[in-house]
Amino acid sequence: MSGLRRRGIGRPPLSGPEAEANPLSELSFEERRERFLEAAVRLFEEKGYKNTSVEDIAGELGFTKKVFYYYWKNKREIVQEIHDRGMALMNAQLDAVMKEEGEPGARLDAAIRNHLRTVLRDRSIAGTLLGDFEFSEETLRARREYTRRFQRLVEEGMAAGVVRKTDPQMLTFAILGLCNSVGAWYRGDGRLTDEEIIDIFAAFAARGWRAAAG
Amino acid sequence: MSGLRRRGIGRPPLSGPEAEANPLSELSFEERRERFLEAAVRLFEEKGYKNTSVEDIAGELGFTKKVFYYYWKNKREIVQEIHDRGMALMNAQLDAVMKEEGEPGARLDAAIRNHLRTVLRDRSIAGTLLGDFEFSEETLRARREYTRRFQRLVEEGMAAGVVRKTDPQMLTFAILGLCNSVGAWYRGDGRLTDEEIIDIFAAFAARGWRAAAG
């Protein structure tokens, strides 16, 4: 969020001719900033991150790129923000799952389905499409923290006898790797619905993690 | 291989002072070209594709980048070549598996283990590290062809009753996605050997694809 401070949140709306034709002129700085982010998400999903230029993003809202740079430092800053929100959501979902009472197997399954849902939702910035993207140290820390907490769910399941006894880190990597791989091919216009895909992949994962019924 | 023709295979070795100190001077053009590729592979594994410059690759062999450009068009050409070799190897391995007589489940398991082994071997160019890389149309075709043939193995197994009856394309994507995900974290210096990792991931996959024993 330091970007918001740095780029002068609270400045008055643009004045001059652009402001008159400006479909965002009624909005606050932060709301307008958000519109650019939403336009970027749409374009990333349509054409991919790499094939989307700042001109394209500004053009979606009827602006030149000069206007874009009033709200965002560059395309990377938007991607970083989308990714950070995705991570925050995933960590919040994991918090919710970990706070729930309940059978450890059901909790792990819920965590897997949440993870899959976020990958499908955030397909525009799926890890595999952004292999060259240098995320901030903070983002990488958040990712590692997420993986560690996910592994804790796996270990709890092992202790309770519902998760197969094997290397907990490898099992965690297998589950998350499987889930993340969906982002590499999913395009949102296929023959299966999101929920069908989630069911298939969660079931595949469950066969991998579930201990044989005693 | 068109690169070889284009860049003048068969030219005499470099002459001048560089040739005298040239550790490659006894080698053919193609052999010397290969040394640059090997140096690139080492550096990609060490530092990643993105953090390796043409200067670095040339420097590994004691040359300036000018010499590199005598053998290769650019870094991308080397990556494309490494990837094409990987795909050729994977397709050849799949040929071998598909020609074998034998129980369809054992064949699928062998194909999965071969795939995992290639991902571990080619970790320097693992898909996730090259998300922004634009592969040639030919390479993409070879990839799709590989996936289709892999799916045929899955379908044969279903017909024989050893592979769980489910959407064959989704099952293929799940298996290959799981296998490819190893490339995202594997670094070759971890606490597990390659064969241990292959066993864990092949077993996880098998739990996902194997039909319940009747």
Q: How far apart are CA A131 and CA B174, in angstroms?
A: 20
Long-range contacts, stretch A185-192, CB < 8 angstroms, 24+ apart = A185/B173, A185/B177, A186/A119, A186/A120, A186/A123, A186/A126, A187/A123, A188/A45, A188/A120, A188/A123, A192/B167, A192/B170
Burial class (CB in 10 A: 0-12, 13-18, 19+), B108: buried
A206: tokens are: 């469950």
Q: Suggest the residue from B170, B194, B199 to mutate for an interface test with chain A (most A CBs closer than 10 A).
A: B170
Half-sphere exposure of A74 (CA within 13 A, CB side): 1
Per the CB < 8 Å rule, is B178 touching A174?
yes
Lookup result for tokens 């398991």: B109
Locate CATH 1.10.357.10 in chain A: 76-209
User: Contact B147/B176 with Cβ under 8 angstroms?
Assistant: yes
Q: How far apart are CA A87 and CA A139, in angstroms?
A: 8
Low-confidence residues in chain A, pLDDT < 70? 1-24, 123-133, 214
Q: Suggest the residue from B173, B198, B209 to mutate for an interface test with chain A (most A CBs closer than 10 A).
A: B173
Query: Which chain B residues are closer than 8 Å to A131 by Cβ?
Result: 127-133
The predicted model gives B183-209 an average pLDDT of 91
Q: How far apart are CA B123 and CA B118, in angstroms?
A: 8
pLDDT band at B130 (very low <50, low <70, confident <90, very high): low
Q: State the ipTM, two decimals.
A: 0.79
φ/ψ bin of A14: left (φ > 0), alpha (ψ from -120 to 50), beta (otherwise): beta
User: Contact A149/B175 with Cβ under 8 angstroms?
Assistant: no
More confident site: B136 or B30: B30
- pLDDT tens, B13-26? 455 545 555 666 78
The CATH fold of domain A2-73: Arc Repressor Mutant, subunit A (1.10.10)
- pLDDT tens, A168-198? 999 999 999 999 889 888 877 789 999 999 9
Of the partner residues A50, A166, A204, the one whose CB lies closest to the CB of residue B200? A166
Q: How far apart are CA B121 and CA A111, in angstroms?
A: 32
**Three-state secondary structure call for residue A163:** strand
User: Contact A129/A181 with Cβ under 8 angstroms?
Assistant: no
Nearest in space to A119 (alpha carbons), one of A208, A202, A207: A202
What residue in B sits closest to A198 (Cα-Cα)?
Answer: B170
- pLDDT tens, B138-172? 888 888 999 999 999 999 999 999 999 999 999 99
Burial class (CB in 10 A: 0-12, 13-18, 19+), A212: exposed
Burial class (CB in 10 A: 0-12, 13-18, 19+), A153: buried
Amino acid at A138: E
Amino acid at A18: E
- What is the predicted pLDDT for the residue at A13? 46
The C-alpha angle B162, B168, B174, rounded to 5 degrees, equals: 95
The CATH fold of domain B76-209: Tetracycline Repressor; domain 2 (1.10.357)
Nearest in space to B124 (alpha carbons), one of B81, B172, B176, B63: B81
Locate CATH 1.10.10.60 in chain B: 2-73
Q: How far apart are CA A147 and CA B206, in angstroms?
A: 24
